[in-house]
Amino acid sequence: MIHPVIMAGGTGSRLWPLSRQLNPKQFLKLTDDNLSMLQLTVARLEGMESADPLLICNEEHRFLAAEQMRQSGHDDARIILEPCGRNTAPAIALAALQLAKGVADDGDDPLMLVLAADHLIQDVPAFQNGIAKAVPLAQQGNLVTFGIVPGHAETGYGYIQRGPELAEGSFTVNRFVEKPDQETAEDYLSSGDYLWNSGMFMFGARRYLTELEKHRPDILAICQAAFDGASEDLHFTRINESIFAECPEDSVDYAVMEKTDNAAVVSLDAGWSDIGSWSALWDVSDKDQNGNTFTGDVIAHDTERTLVRADSRLVATVGVKDLVIIETKDALLVAHKDKVQDVKKVVERIKNDGRHEHMNHREVYRPWGVYDSIDNGNRYQVKRITVKPGAKLSVQMHHHRAEHWIVVSGTAKVTNGEKTYLVTENQSTYIPIGQIHSLENPGVIDLDLIEVQSGSYLGEDDIVRFKDVYGRT
């Protein structure tokens, strides 16, 4: 049986302002109106003989990841939480240790299918056929990667030079090469011997650990110690932070695949893209007769080959070509399609200027629901809060702010000091500064309310939690 391992780390800064540090591209609905990139990755496993996916994500994305897995029908999916990013070689090692745990030394080696959560694959049958070709190779002890049949001379991807054929569509790996310049990429394309490096793999869990110990024993030793010091929390495996922080950063390509004597590659032609930029999204999107791709409320006149995404208001274009225009509630990006790789430089500028637009959207998701910061000013802030049925905010207090809650729809169960009471539609309640309080939705429909905060400091870090059902401190 195949054990899918989905790597869902990363921030996707080149897709700002839609992708943010606390809500990156793998959790966004970029190519599908109903499913996020992560959920599409899970969906393309349907029909295969595989176990529940094992997810690896950042600590700060744990509830977002768990909720999307639940929506995909995997309520009990195990999620490994990386306390800090250390690239793909350590991340895969943690997954391999999890899968190998409890397997006898003489038992079967769990077969890992390592996938990225933020890739697009348009031809799912071709993808699954490629996976089937990789299984016997991995069972024979090979470390298998998947090489994408190149459609053009691309300078943004690494390449794999294939060697002798092992089976139909499967080859030994001659070498891995870095992202080439344009002339070299054209040479690779014309030779027919090179494939794009997709970053997808298949190998036995213990087989990978053996190769990692051979080539990067320092990484394996720290990963093993951090995994041994892990704790279990609901469906989460929390890796020991103090130990894992000492792990060297390295990719699986550099640490293992370029060094092993047993690398194999399966040729894959399945409409693959890593959606690494806004121009890449335009490439794979449906277009009108003028080559435009529009999402949201858009009015265009004399506009060609342009991507527009309007999330919260009308966007109008007149007399423009080859642009990317992305509108969110708190930011607007206008860029030429040829320059979208530089969006990450804007993100760095935002960070360096001490701003917050790289971190999160105006709408912020929590395990209990979502809030939207509608307005703020000197000593006040207004939020619209939605609490899911049966969900509960932590028992908490604030040192610097008071809160006034007005219920718009649904029913709120409020604990306000020593009192607990219900607040229903068109009713309100007041939480003084320093008062211990909590909010719960006891009903079967969403609870919507308006929160007005007032005080000398309104930061999200002014929260003292006394009890939390989601394990937050």
DSSP code at position 255: I
How far apart are the C-alpha atoms of 221 and 208, rounded to whole Å?
14
CATH class of 2-273: alpha beta
Q: Which residues pair with 402 in a beta bridge?
A: 454
Question: What's the pLDDT score for residue 105?
Answer: 65
Question: What's the pLDDT score for residue 18?
Answer: 96
- The structure tokens listed for 408 are 């718009």
Question: What's the pLDDT score for residue 103?
Answer: 73
Question: What's the pLDDT score for residue 104?
Answer: 61
Strands 412-416 and 464-467: unpaired
Question: What's the pLDDT score for residue 460?
Answer: 85
- The structure tokens listed for 156 are 């943004």
Q: ∠431-437-442 over CA atoms, to 5°?
A: 110
How far apart are the C-alpha atoms of 267 and 254, rounded to whole Å?
21
Helix count (H) and strand count (E) of the chain?
11, 30
Share above pLDDT 90 across residues of the chain, in percent, rounded to a whole number: 86
Amino acid at site 274: D
Closest CA to 23 of 71, 70, 61, 72: 61
Confidence of residue 7 (pLDDT cuts 50, 70, 90): very high
Tens-place pLDDT, residues 272-287:
999 999 999 999 999 9
Q: Is the pLDDT assigned to residue 107 strictly greater than 80? A: no
Tens-place pLDDT, residues 132-149:
999 999 999 999 999 999
Cβ neighbors of 266 (< 8 A, separation 6 or more) are 130, 133, 134, 137, 144, 145, 146, 147, 169, 170
Q: Is the pLDDT assigned to residue 106 strictly greater than 90? A: no
Q: Where in the chain is the domain with CATH 3.90.550.10?
A: 2-273
When pLDDT is averaged across residues 88-92 and rounded to a whole number, the result is 96
Cβ neighbors of 155 (< 8 A, separation 6 or more) are 179, 180, 181, 182, 185
Tens-place pLDDT, residues 410-458:
999 999 999 999 999 999 999 999 999 999 999 999 999 999 999 999 9
Question: What's the pLDDT score for residue 473?
Answer: 65
CATH topology of domain 363-467: Jelly Rolls (2.60.120)
Angstrom CA distances, 375 to 206, 288, 378, 393, 406, stand at 53, 37, 11, 22, 15
Q: Where in the chain is the domain with CATH 2.60.120.10?
A: 363-467
Residues 87/88/89/92 CA torsion (nearest 10 deg): 130
Please report how the helices 88-100 and 205-215 are oriented relative to each other, as an axis angle in degrees rounded to 10.
130
Q: Is this prediction's pTM over 0.85?
A: yes
Q: Which runs of consecutive H residues, i.e. helices, occur in 192-290?
A: 205-215, 217-228, 241-244, 252, 278-284
- The structure tokens listed for 274 are 């890593």
Q: Is the pLDDT assigned to residue 76 strictly greater than 90? A: no
DSSP code at position 39: H
Q: Which residues pair with 439 in a beta bridge?
A: 414
